[in-house]
Amino acid sequence: MDLSNYDPNGVGNPNNNIFGLPTTEEDARLIILPIPWEVTVSYGNGTARAPDDILRASLQVDLFDPDMNEEWKEGFYMRPADQHILLKSDYLRREAELYIDYISKGEIVADNQFMCRTVKDINEGSEFLNQWVYDQTMALLQKDKWVGLLGGDHSTPLGFMKALAEKHGEFGILQIDAHCDLRKAYEGLTYSHASIMYNALNEIPNVKKLVQVGIRDYGSDEWDYIHENSSRIQTYFDKKIKQKLYNGETWQSQVADIVSHLPEKVYISFDIDGLDPKLCPNTGTPVPGGLELEQIHFLFDQTIAAGKKIIGFDLNEVGIDVNADWDANVGARALYKLCNILVKSNRSASK
């Protein structure tokens, strides 16, 4: 990659790629794969089109990071969103809205032939998406690229996790989220956004540990599932995090405990609703409470400092606002941090 005429302190060039970098897919070591998919979201929508907003907002992100060593010079490249996937998402989303409205009123799905067909179509569409993500990410991994996913809703990374399991063997997931996402076939939809971690644990044996941070909205079935699988799931509920902070325990101390439960290889799954909703007001399912972005950055930095190897990441559920770009701005900065730590981790591992 020729950077001889590139000024990292200049104005972001909209003709360049993510963060204004003059990078091609061939040149880049890290490929960001946008997944414009939000079929099963059960509250707000818009996340399928977030990657385009984040791309535009990324031009305002300064590349200089005093805690990094110009990781961007390895090359970051975001692919264009696949329009066929977006169109499929739009079509199935309309079907899902009708279905969710139907069951919310207590109607019986088995009594309605159209709704039975709708559930089948949505589940088949989600299986198609999972396979598409697997195929795309596995092809990149086989080219020795580092890969990050940009959603879209939180159902999107399952295929990527399966590809990583084949390449890396055993690993753990560090999940930043307001929700557990441990519901089995939520609303009758096998690959619901609310089921991603349940599916990862049950379909990918190489996922040896799930460490959840910021959880504050969950059902009794998820509470029971966590306690029944305590050897495999470690959950840091937002309420307890805040209580410890109020009682004088530092965030540094809590982070040290979080990191201690992570295995050597770590996949980061960042649902942006894990943050305080003032930072992401248009996310699909906002919940009061949550963490500051700086707290998450500190957690990521300490994970690297502990010698963990980051093998991939996803950033999901960034909302869009037609009147402002605040969500995209925060999303772009979260994405830049994820890119940097992925590169830094793998640079360190190769030394």
Give the CATH number for residue 197: 3.40.800.10
Domain count of the chain?
1
Is 4 a member of any domain?
no
Q: Classify residue 254: in a domain, yes or no.
A: yes
Q: Are 272 and 226 in contact (CB under 8 A)?
A: no
Q: Can you tell me which residue has the tokens 């977006």?
A: 86
Q: Distance (Å, rounded) from C-alpha 75 to C-alpha 21?
A: 8
Residues of the chain scoring pLDDT < 50: none
Q: In what order do the strands lie in the sheet with 76-78?
A: 76-78, 30-35, 146-151, 309-316, 265-271, 171-176, 207-215, 233-237
- Domain membership flag for residue 126: yes
Whole-number pLDDT of residue 66: 87
Tally the residues of the chain. 351
Residue 58 lies in a domain: yes
Q: Is residue 9 part of a domain?
A: no
Parent domain of 112: 18-350
pLDDT of residue 127: 97
Q: Taking the model in full, what pTM does it have?
A: 0.96
